[in-house]
Amino acid sequence: MAQDVAIIGAGIIGLSIARRAAREGLSVVVYDRGGAGAGASNVAAGMLAPVTEAEFGNPELLELGLAAAERWPAFAAELGVPLHTAGTLIAARDRDEAEALEREHAFRDRLGLRVERLRPSAARRLEPALAPTIRLALHIPDDHSVDPRAVLAALAADVEVVQRDVASLDDVEAETVVVAAGAWSGTLADVPVRPVKGQILRLRDPTIGSHPPLLDRVLRFEGGYLVPRGDGRYVLGATVEERGFDTTVTAGGVYELLRDATELVPGISELVLEEVAAGLRPGTPGNVPIIRRDGRAVIATGHFRNGILLAPLTAERVVSELIGAPA
Ligand code: GLY
C-alpha cells in the first residue's frame, strides 16, 4: 500500500518534515538518489544565525529566521544533539570593512536586534586568537550553531530513507509528495530555484585537550566564516558561486578561504585540513524559501543559506499543510 506522504530529498529539510509527519501519525517514505544527507546539508556549517544573515530590505527572511531560531533549543534537545551557544563575532579587517560593519550595526540596532559594537581590544578579550590587526567587531550573542552531520544522523535514525532517483512526481505513488530536493527542486516542480555553489573546508586541532579551543564563537568576515564545534574541529566556509551544478573544489576557492581566515586568526594555519567539499545551496530570487501546496505536491525548498536554521520551522509549516491544521 502506498504511503500517505513521499518526500523527495533526504537533506535536513526532507528528514525534519518526515520525522514530524510520522509523529503526527502519517506513513512516510523519503527518497533520495544519494541516500540520507548526501547533498548540501552534509556540507553545511550549521550556523543558526538570523541576526548575522539579516539582509537590508528582506524583513521576511529575518522574521522566518528569528522564528526558526526560537525552535532550535527544543528541536536539538528532541534529537539529542548539542547546540553550540557561544554566539557570533563579525570582524572587519580594514577601513572599508569597518565602515560596512558600522552600517550593519546601525541596521540591526534599528531593528532592535541584540548586537554589540566592539573595539579590537574588546573583541580580542573575547577571542584571544584574533589578529591584533582587526579594525572593528560586532558581537551577536544570540546567533549560535549546530553540527549538521549530527542532526542528520539523529534524523535519519528515525526515518525510512530509500535510495532512489525520482525523475518525476508521476513516478511516486503516495497520496501527497513533498518536494524537498534543494537545488534540484526545479527539475521536479515549477519553482525558481537555482544552485549556488559553496566550497568549504573542515579543519581539526590535533593538540586539543592540552589547551582551550582556538575560537569559541562563530567568526564571520567579508567572504566567509569559521565555525568552531567546541572540540577542536572547525568548518571554514564558504564561497558563493553561480556555476550551475558544478561541485568541484578549486585551488582558488580553497586559497581565498584560507587566506582570509588566516589573516583574521593566524593560528588556523596550524590546524589539520581534514576535508574539502562543495555543496549547492538552493537559491531563490528573493533569498527566501518556497513553502506552498501545488496540487498533490507540497513544495519545501529554496532555503538558500539558511537550510539548517529553517528546518524545524519548515517542518512545522509543511506538516500543518499535510494534516490540514493552521500553521
Ligand atoms: N549558511 C552559510 C552558507 O550558505 O554559506
pLDDT tens column, 62-110 = 999 999 999 999 999 999 999 999 999 999 999 999 999 999 999 999 9
Kindly report the number of other CB atoms within 10 A of residue 73's CB atom: 13
Residue with cell 532517483: 165
Q: What residues contact residue 326 under an 8 Å CB cut-off, 6+ apart?
A: 320
pLDDT band at 326 (very low <50, low <70, confident <90, very high): low
Is the preceding omega at residue 238 within 30 degrees of 0, hence cis?
Answer: yes
Kindly report the number of other CB atoms within 10 A of residue 4's CB atom: 18
13's grid cell: 529539510
> Which residue's C-alpha comes closest to atom 2 of ligand 1?
305
The confidence score (pLDDT) of residue 327 equals 60
pLDDT tens column, 109-123 = 999 999 999 999 999
State the SS3 of 212-255.
Answer: CCCCCCEEEECCEEEEECCCCEEEEECCCECCCCCCCCCHHHHH
Distance CA 109, CA 104 (A): 9
Distance 175 CA to ligand 1 centre (A): 34
The answer, yes or no, to whether residue 53 has pLDDT greater than 80, is yes
Burial class (CB in 10 A: 0-12, 13-18, 19+), 295: exposed
The answer, yes or no, to whether residue 283 has pLDDT greater than 70, is yes
The set of protein residues with a Cβ atom below 6 angstroms from ligand 1 is 45, 47, 198, 237-238, 281, 305
The confidence score (pLDDT) of residue 206 equals 92
Distance CA 129, CA 256 (A): 20
Distance between start and end Cα atoms, the chain:
29
249's grid cell: 573544489
Q: How many residues does the chain have?
A: 327
Residues of the chain by 3-state class (helix, strand, coil), percent to 5: 35, 25, 40
pLDDT band at 300 (very low <50, low <70, confident <90, very high): very high
Name the pTM for this structure. 0.96
Q: Is 267 helix (H, G, I), strand (E, B) or coil?
A: helix
CA-wise closest residue to 85 among 50, 115, 48, 129: 48
pLDDT band at 160 (very low <50, low <70, confident <90, very high): confident
Fold of 1-86+144-192+285-327: FAD/NAD(P)-binding domain (3.50.50)
The confidence score (pLDDT) of residue 249 equals 98
pLDDT band at 294 (very low <50, low <70, confident <90, very high): very high
Edge-to-edge strand ranges of the sheet holding 176-179: 161-163, 28-32, 5-8, 176-179, 297-301, 290-294
Over range 1-7, report the average pLDDT. 89
- The domain segmentation of the chain, as residue ranges, is 1-86+144-192+285-327
Over range 233-237, report the average pLDDT. 97
pLDDT tens column, 13-26 = 999 999 999 999 99
pLDDT tens column, 34-46 = 999 889 999 999 9
Distance 11 CA to ligand 1 centre (A): 15
Distance 44 CA to ligand 1 centre (A): 7
